[in-house]
Amino acid sequence: MPDPFRVLVLNQVSASGLKRLPSDTYVVGKEVTDPDAVLLRSADMHAMDIPPGVKAIGRCGAGTNNIPVAAMSARGVPVFNAPGANANAVKELVLAGMLMAARNLAPAQRFVDLLDPGAADLEKAVEAGKKDFAGTELAGQTLGIIGLGKIGSLVADAAIKLGMNVLGYDPEITVDAAWSLPAQVKKAAGVNDVLKSANFITLHVPLLDATRNLVNAKNLALAKQGAVLLNFSREGVVDDEAVLAALDRKDLGWYVCDFPGSRILRHARVIALPHLGASTHEAEENCAVMVADQLRDFLEHGNIANAVNFPNVSMERESRFRVAIANANVPNMLGQISTAMARAGLNIHTMVNKSRGDMAYTLVDVDSPVGEEVIAALKRIGGVLAVRYLPQP
Ligand SMILES: NC(=O)c1ccc[n+]([C@@H]2O[C@H](COP(=O)([O-])OP(=O)(O)OC[C@H]3O[C@@H](n4cnc5c(N)ncnc54)[C@H](O)[C@@H]3O)[C@@H](O)[C@H]2O)c1
Ligand SMILES: O=C(O)CC[C@@H](O)C(=O)O
């Protein structure tokens, strides 16, 4: 009986996902030591001393900016995420955010909270007070979407169904994402173009060097007066100081965000939510199930689906003896791998090799058991980052 896989869990992860890792072959929990894999949501792994035995990381969500992806790539460790699994939850909260801003729902609710329930003139006070909260309708307004991936495209679709005009910007859009966009979405030339034209601007980009402070003092100066900025992306994508200044100048009408940083808290025109975008039972379950399945397929068979730093690689088992190799995407790796195997008298039954950027990944099924000395020889090849032997009982 092989040792069970050990999975360290850093956040509250849906039980439906954890159940996908059966207890006869997995030890899963928050106290697990010497883990083979780590499952998490938003925990910050940058300062963590990631144990050497970690072979995979599973992010039950979309963003991976809380994980040292480059350092994991250098160790040949895939970082899995759950593309699209929480997109509907975020889309619905963006719609709620637009409505909260357009209809002044936060101050209206505060007004009602302060009414005296025992007052004889309660109804009169309600009718007198409501004029302060008259708002605008979404239909006919222009929504600018920056980032047209899984969330951005769902927001575009919903906004069009609500009668809004939609302008989108995404310089890195994939062919699949472009296909899933409604035909009515107009293409913007850049962030400035979106800010100049939109009454509502919503951000759906990952936090990267290129997107840090994507919305800043310079481009906020172009915004339409009273525009609503929505940030359900990441705190660092928006320069909070610049937003506060724009709100105080009344250039921006509202800032709706999912990241209540200390600078923006309690501003009258900020609606800040406690990172609730993906917090629905459905999204939490979707993310956890998707990532746990991907992690299991990798740990047991070496297959990779939806890793942000590896190509997708999957091969049906054609033998009980499989070797998985992560290596730098440089010439002659396959030659050296097959030579090391041939020298040990191993016959390669099937092999698949794919690359993505600097990373390549190879699965090899051989016809007979692989000795420790072969695994050691493979590990010694320059450019090889990680080697795993995955025999089946
Ligand atoms: N608030 C939450 O709880 C919550 C939940 C899910 C995701 N998110 C955040 O939202 C982000 C997007 O999620 P997604 O599922 O749509 O991811 P996605 O990968 O499907 O889409 C991201 C899109 O951004 C585009 N992009 C990259 N750089 C850009 C740039 N400079 N300008 C414009 N577009 C750019 C990409 O091409 C891609 O199409 C995540 O990375 C995460 O940070 C937050
Ligand atoms: O796990 C969460 O609650 C947030 C996830 C979200 O930020 C994401 O990037 O998917």
Q: How far is the CA of 262 from the centre of ligand 1 (A)?
A: 23
Which H/E stretch holds residue 324?
strand 321-328
pLDDT confidence band for 151 (50 / 70 / 90): very high
Is 62 touching ligand 1 by the criterion CB < 6 Å?
A: yes
Ligand 1 and 148: CB distance under 6 A: yes
pLDDT for 380 equals 97
Cβ(147) – ligand 1 distance below 6 Å: yes
Ligand 1 centre to CA of 321 (Å) is: 39
Region 99-127: mean pLDDT is 97
Ligand closest to 65 (CA) is 1
Ligand 2, atom 3, residue with closest C-alpha: 278
**Ligand 1 centroid, distance to 212 Cα (angstroms):** 12
Query: Which ligand is nearest the CA of 206, by number?
Result: 1
Band of residue 61 on the pLDDT scale cut at 50, 70, 90: very high
Mean pLDDT in residue range 135-157: 98
Determine what percent of the chain is predicted with pLDDT higher than 70.
Answer: 100
Which pLDDT value is given to residue 341? 97
Whether pLDDT at 18 is above 90: yes
d(CA 65, CA 58): 13
Instruction: Give the confidence band of 330 by pLDDT, cuts at 50, 70, 90.
Output: very high
pLDDT tier at 10, thresholds 50, 70, 90: very high
| Residue of 42, 169, 170 to mutate, ligand 1, most atoms within 8 A of C-beta | 170
pLDDT digits (tens, 9 = 90+) for 236-295: 999 999 999 999 999 999 999 999 999 999 999 999 999 999 999 999 999 999 999 999
pLDDT above 80 (res 176): yes
149 C-alpha to center of ligand 1: Å? 6
Helix (H) or strand (E) holding 196: helix 191-197
* Cα 176 to ligand 1 centre (Å): 15
* 3-state SS assignment for residue 307: strand
For ligand 2, say whether the CB of 42 is within 6 Å of any of its atoms.
yes
pLDDT at 356: 98
For residue 359, report the distance from its CA to the centre of ligand 2, in Å. Answer: 26
State the distance between the two ends of the chain, measured CA to CA, in whole angstroms: 8
Residue 21 has pLDDT above 80, yes or no: yes
Which residue ranges form the domains of the chain, and what is each CATH number? 1-86+278-307 (3.40.50.720), 88-102+134-272 (3.40.50.720), 311-393 (3.30.70.260)
Tell me the two tokens of residue 264.
């923006």
Judged against a pLDDT cut of 90, whether residue 121 lies above it is answered with yes
Check pLDDT > 90 for residue 391.
yes
Kindly state if the Cβ of 41 falls inside 6 Å of ligand 2.
Answer: yes
Check pLDDT > 80 for residue 177: yes
pLDDT band for position 329 (50/70/90)? very high
CB atoms within 10 A of CB 67: 25
Is 80 exceeded by the pLDDT of residue 1?
no
Does the pLDDT of residue 201 top 80, yes or no?
yes
Burial of 88-103, coded b for 16+ CB within 10 Å and e otherwise, reads bbbbbbbbebbebbbe
pLDDT at 19 over 80: yes
Model confidence, pTM: 0.96
Cα–ligand 1 centroid distance for 371 (angstroms): 44
- Nearest alpha-carbon partner for 79 in 364, 329, 295, 370: 295
Show the tokens assigned to 347: 């016959």
Give the confidence band of 393 by pLDDT, cuts at 50, 70, 90: confident
Average pLDDT, the chain: 97
ipTM over 0.90: yes
CA distance 7 to 382: 30
Query: For residue 61, how far is its CA from the centre of ligand 2 (angstroms)?
Result: 5
Report the nearest-CA residue for atom 1 of ligand 2: 41
- Atom 31 in ligand 1: which residue has the minimum CA distance? 211
CA 324 to CA 69: how far, in whole Å? 20
